[in-house]
Homo-oligomer: A and B are copies of this chain.
Amino acid sequence: MGGSCLAERLAHYVALTPPEQDALVQLEEQERSFKRGAMIRREHDGARELFIVQKGWLHSSVLLGNGSRQIMRFHFPGDLVGVSSLAFGQSSDSIVAVTDVTLCPFDKDKLALLFQEHPRLAALIFTLSVAERVSLADRLASIGRTSARARVASLLCEIFARLRIMGGAGLDEFHVPLTQEEIGDATGLTAVHVNRMMRGLVDDGLIGRNGNMIKVMNEARLAEGANFTDRYAEIDIGWLPQPR
């Protein structure tokens, strides 16, 4: 390895000082791998750990009394996962491996240290957490107030935008290792209806599909129909304090 994934991610926004880099590398001393489908953390379990994603996709989700599942968010390499365990002794959601994954776990005490020693990093992590919340709010609006087709389109747009952060801005074809059931659980739809909506998007020439590869054919119309705005493009870090 050598570098830290989180450092790589944060370096997208600020030029890290050497002490800051050291602090981030220390968060990723450990490394743990899980198989596709593995339950990494179960809802209501005690949890002192956060994870940095190194490789693979995950999702965090909740199970409801009626047996259905709501996926809150998909997590990609560079993401900080399990943040909700900061505020609660017990995990508020389950974390599941969508593909085979490699994670770097660290205890929340280490984050406390980061807040003390590196206020700029703390503020940056806070900022990214706020951006994630806005992204969740976008999904809420999507599910609450738009059609099934728009919800699916919106999820695809969000995934594309986030994959481009790490993968390069020019990408127009993506490996999306999600089942239609997972897409449904993220958008509040059934797998059957997701299938019909995806077919509609293909038939209308907005996207192309080949197995798990999805190609963006007409991103403008896709984003328009989805009511999508790319939050990650407009993150403002102007308020951050000076590095120590």
| Chain B positions within 8 Å of A109 at CB level | 239
Known: A64-B145, A119-B116, A144-B187. A86 touches B126 (CB 8 A): yes
Near B by CB (< 8 A), chain A positions 126-160 give 126-134, 136-141, 143-146
Binding stretch for chain B, among A15-23, A29-37, A207-215, A230-238:
A230-238
Cβ < 8 Å to B, chain A residues 93-120: 93, 108-109, 111-113, 115-116, 119-120
Separation of A15 and B120 alpha carbons in the complex (Å): 25
Instruction: State the CA gap A92–B134 with chains docked (Å).
Output: 7
Partner-contacting stretch, out of A4-12, A65-73, A169-177, A194-202 = A65-73
Query: Of B70, B87, B187, B227, which is within 8 A of A65 by CB?
Result: B227
A25 on the B face (CB < 8 A)? no
Return chain B residues, CB-CB under 8 Å to A179.
Answer: none
- Among B111, B231, B241, point to the contact of A113 (Cβ < 8 A): B241
Would B86 and A116 count as touching, CB distance under 8 A? no
The reply on A240 being an interface residue by CB < 8 A is yes
Majority-rule SS of A interface residues: helix
Collect the chain B residues with CB atoms within 8 Å of residue A127's CB: 86-87
Confirm or deny: A188 has a beta carbon within 8 angstroms of a beta carbon on chain B: yes
Contact, CB under 8 Å: B231 / A134 = no
- Do B139 and A140 touch across chains, with their CB atoms under 8 A apart? yes
* Complex: chain B residue closest to A226, CB-CB: B65
**Contacts A115-B119, A122-B122, A227-B64; A143 near B239 (Cβ below 8 A):** no
Tell yes or no: A205 within 8 A of B by CB. no
The 8 nearest A-B residue pairs measured at CB:
A144-B188, A70-B141, A112-B241, A87-B130, A89-B236, A87-B131, A108-B239, A115-B119
29 contacts between A and B (CB under 8 A): A48-B239, A65-B224, A66-B145, A66-B146, A66-B227, A70-B140, A70-B144, A72-B137, A72-B141, A87-B130, A87-B134, A88-B134, A88-B231, A88-B236, A89-B238, A109-B239, A111-B123, A113-B241, A115-B122, A115-B126, A115-B241, A116-B119, A116-B244, A119-B122, A129-B133, A132-B133, A133-B136, A136-B140, A140-B140
